Amino acid sequence: MISKEKISTRYKELFDSDATHIVRSPGRINIIGEHTDYNEGFVLPTAIDKAIYVAVSRRSDNMIRLYAEDFQTFYETPLSAIHPTMEGWPNYVLGVVNQLVERRLPVSGFNLYIDGDVPLGAGLSSSAALECATGFALNVLFDLELDRVDIAKIGQLAEHTYAGVQCGIMDQFASAMSKAGHVLRLDCRDLSFLYKPLELGDYTILLLNTNVKHSLASTAYNDRRSACEAAVRLIQQKHAEVNSLRDATVTMLEELVLPVDADAFVKSRFIIEENERVEQVCVALENGDLETMGELMYRAHEGLSKEYDVSCPELDFLVDYVRQFPEILGARMMGGGFGGCTINLVHKRFEDLLIDRMKPVYEEKFGLELTAIKVVPSAGTSLL
């Protein structure tokens, strides 16, 4: 169990000084709206009760000294010499620092400690949580006067420039901006957002982690993004006003994309339909219609698996298996794809029974452990 006291004690052991601030920034789930964020579409995420914790204090010099509990490793560099590193994990912190330096904000040397209980590699955005925790902590430490949207944008740019992933804004936005008991209906074009109550009654959200990450993930992500951009370029030859798939219709795709690029057509159609599903789930939540919400989750998975082609046998098996149970209203793969978790809308009384039923079946079929992650929609980044 991670606590403020435990972090403070560990910080003192490592840095021989007291932490000035401790920040908690949560991981996230996304109810629906997958791969729409980098297409200027809509998403429906919320933060969860699993988080990355960052403790910081100023130094008297210009050194940056980092420690990651998960890796039991220090990393240090002068502020003047920060650059992307092959070690991986420091990049999420250094990328944020680089963005602050680019903005000519008054940053100097600091010590920073990282711990957390967001399962790594499960698609719960531990990287975005770390970026937002870092941004929030440095904002307070150096009195930078950034708001939460600034911190989310800085986290996204850190991921682009230092981690090398051209991610959308959803993960950082959900980590920084979420409100307990609500989902965020986020417009990824202009970052306007609405809080929608997430009232699940007798149901709860259960994540089932495949514990697999296929190596296709990063290349495939960039390939999907390219296919969507190719479709937009084809449409723009006739409709100059179309800036992204957000502005496109299926009719435009059928006329201008299908004859030239069948693959781009199928993937782009999925994005347009996924945007519509976000709107439909919002209406279902407002009406307390969890059955419709669940059906839309199942349909989204079919599209992600068969059309956008970002699923894998383990994810498909988990979704197909739960369809037999009336106590489960909906399920789909969540995140970039090729591994990670399924998100399941499960009756509370059936949650533990489901875990007991599925674990041995999955483990026998794939020779992998199935990890169940119970989550509670929670508030965004905060100072402890």
- By annotation, the residues acting in catalysis are 171
The two three-digit tokens of residue 343, written as one number: 């998100």
Longest dimension (CA), the chain: 66
- C-alpha dihedral sign at 24, 27, 28, 29: negative
> Distance between CA 333 and CA 316 in Å, rounded?
8
Q: Where are the alpha helices (DSSP H) in the chain?
A: 4-15, 90-102, 126-141, 148-158, 170-177, 217-236, 250-252, 262-286, 290-302, 313-322, 351-366
- Whole-Å CA distances, 192 to 25, 43, 170: 21, 11, 12
Residue 195: φ, ψ to 5°:
-90, 125
Rounded distance between C-alpha atoms, residue 23 and residue 213, angstroms: 29
